[in-house]
Amino acid sequence: MKRIAILGSTGSIGESTLKIARHLKDKIEVRAIAAKSNIDKLEQQAREFSPELIAVFDEDKALELQKRLPNHRVVAGMEGLKAVAGLASVNMVVSAMTGTLGLEPTLAAIKAGKDIGLANKEALISGGGLVTALVKEKGVKLLPIDSEHSAIFQCLNGEDRSAIKRLIITASGGPFKNHTKEQLHNISVDQALNHPTWRMGPKITVDSSTLMNKGLEVIEAHWLFGVSLDKIDVVVHPQSIIHSLVEFVDCSMIAQMGEPNMMVPIQYALTYPDRLPGVFQNFDFIKNGTLQFFAPDFDRFRCLKLAYDAAKKGGTLPGYMNAANEVLVHRFLDKQISWSDISHKLENLMQRHSVQRVSSFEDVIANDKVARKEAALA
C-alpha cells in the first residue's frame, strides 16, 4: 500500500493525483493533504478521503477550515506544510505546489526519508546540487511527475546511464509557435492561457507559452538524470504524443508516447516500479496519424535561451531566474506587464545579477527572496 501525502492537493496535479487514488483505491491511501489557501476544495477532499492531517498555508483559512471540520486535524503555515511532508504514516510525498512555497516542504520530506513524486520544479532548479546530494544521502527515490521527465525515466529503465548519447525533450511549442515577432507584442492573458494540448494551472501554462517551462525542464533533466547540458536537446512536437526520447550511443532511440494527460505520469510515479491498469482507451494511431517536429526558435522565445544560459553559468543564476520569472508571470496574469515584457525584464534582471555559489539551503532561500524583490520592481 502506498500511503501518500499531497503538497498542493487543490491544484491541477493534486487533483489528478486524487483521481488516481480514487481509481486505485486498494493500492493508494491518501494520508495527508495540503494547499495554500483553497479551503473549499480542501474541505471536499477531506470529506471524501478522510486524511489524518490537513495543512493550509494561509493561517486564517486554516482556522476556518478547522471550524468546518472539527473531527479532522488541521495545521497551518510553513510548519503545517512541513508536518504534512514529514508525517510518520506516509511513505511517499507528491510535491505539487508551485513556486518556492513548495521548496521547503519538499526538502522536509526528503530529510524525513520519504520517496518523492516530484512535480514542483523549484527544488531542482534552485538547489539541484544540494537536493540530489540529499536524496542520495537519505536513500529516497525521486520520481519525476513532469510528463517529459517521466518519459525519460521510463526510457532509461534498465539502461546504463553511460550509454546515453542525448536526451531529447519535446515541447508542444505552446499557443504562439507560429506567431511573428510583431504578433507576439499583443498577447492577451486569455490567449496565453489557451494551451493547445495540455490542461494545466495558469503559471505553468504561461511558462509553456514563453517556452520558459521547457527551459526549466532542461535544467530539471540535467539534475534528475545527471546528463550534461550539451547533451540535452529540445524539439518542438505540436501533437504532444511523444513525451520525450533518449538517444543512445549506438544511435538507437527510445521514445515514450501516450495521450497528453498528466494521469499517466502521475500514476507511473505512484505505482513505480509496477504498472497497473490505466484509465484511457486504446491509443488511436489513425486519428493521431501525423507527428511533426520542428526546431525551437531561441530568438522569438528568449526564455528558452535564458534558461540554457542560466544553467550553464550555474550558481545562484538558475534559481534567481526561476523566482524572477514566477513574479513576472504573475504580474502578466495581473495585467501589469505585457507577455513580451516577461522575457525582456527577465533578461535585464539576469544581466544585472551577480552570480554566487550555492552552498546551503539558506543560500537558496535568500537568493529566491532577492529575485522576487527585484522582479517586483523591474
Cβ–Cβ < 8 Å for 278, 267: yes
Write the binding mask 136 to 175 for Mg ion: x where contact by CB under 5 A, - elsewhere.
----------xxx---------------------------
Q: How far is the CB of 146 from Mg ion (least distance, A)?
A: 4
Residue nearest to Mg ion (CB): 146
Q: Residue 363 in 3-state DSSP?
A: helix
Of 148 and 259, CB closest to Mg ion: 148
- Closest separation between CB of residue 224 and Mg ion, Å? 12
Q: Name which of 32 and 218 has its Cβ closer to Mg ion.
A: 218
Specify the pairing of strand 142-144 against strand 164-171: unpaired
The DSSP 8-state label assigned to residue 32 in this structure reads: E
Q: Based on CB atoms, which residue is closest to Mg ion, 49 or 225?
A: 225
CB of 201 to Mg ion, least distance (A): 12
Residues with Cβ < 8 Å from 180, sequence gap 6 or more? none
Could you tell me the CA-to-CA distances from 54 to 26, 74, 90, 117 in Å, in that order?
Answer: 22, 5, 13, 19
Distance CA 125, CA 317 (A): 9
Nearest distance in Å: CB 109, Mg ion: 21
CB nearer to Mg ion: give 148 or 247: 148
Beta pairing, strands 92-95 & 115-118:
parallel
Instruction: Using alpha carbons only, give the angle 81, 58, 89 rounded to the nearest 5 degrees.
Output: 25
**Residue 207 CA, distance from chain mean position:** 11
CB neighbour list of residue 83: distance below 8 Å, 6 or more residues apart: 53, 55, 75
| Residues 292-311 interacting with Mg ion (rule: CB under 5 A) | none
The torsion angles phi and psi of 108, rounded to 5 degrees, stand at: -60, -40
Inter-residue contact 240 to 169 (CB < 8 Å): no
Minimal distance in Å, beta carbon 265 to Mg ion? 9
- Nearest distance, CB of residue 123 and Mg ion, angstroms: 15
Shortest Cβ distance from residue 251 to Mg ion (Å)?
26
Q: Which of residues 268-287 bind Mg ion (CB under 5 A)?
A: none
Question: In terms of Cα–Cα distance, which of 208, 265, 363, 304 is closest to 16?
Answer: 265
User: Using CA atoms, how far apart are residues 202 and 193, in angstroms rounded to an integer?
Assistant: 6
* CB of 330 closer than 8 Å to CB of 323: no
Say which DSSP state 184 is in.
Answer: G
Instruction: Report in angstroms how near the CB of residue 304 gets to Mg ion at its nearest.
Output: 13
Closer to Mg ion by Cβ: residue 56 or 236:
236
- Pick 54 or 97: Cβ nearer Mg ion: 97
Which CB atom, from 36 or from 149, has the smaller least distance to Mg ion?
149
Query: Which of 100/147 has CB closer to Mg ion?
Result: 147
Q: Which is nearer to Mg ion, 29 or 148 (CB)?
A: 148
Q: Considering the complex, what minimum distance in angstroms separates the CB of residue 148 from Mg ion?
A: 5
β-strands 242-248, 253-257 pairing: antiparallel
- Give yes or no for residue 52 binding Mg ion (CB under 5 A): no
How far is residue 223's CA from residue 228's CA, in Å, rounded to a whole number?
A: 9
The residue ranges that bind Mg ion (CB under 5 A) are 146-148
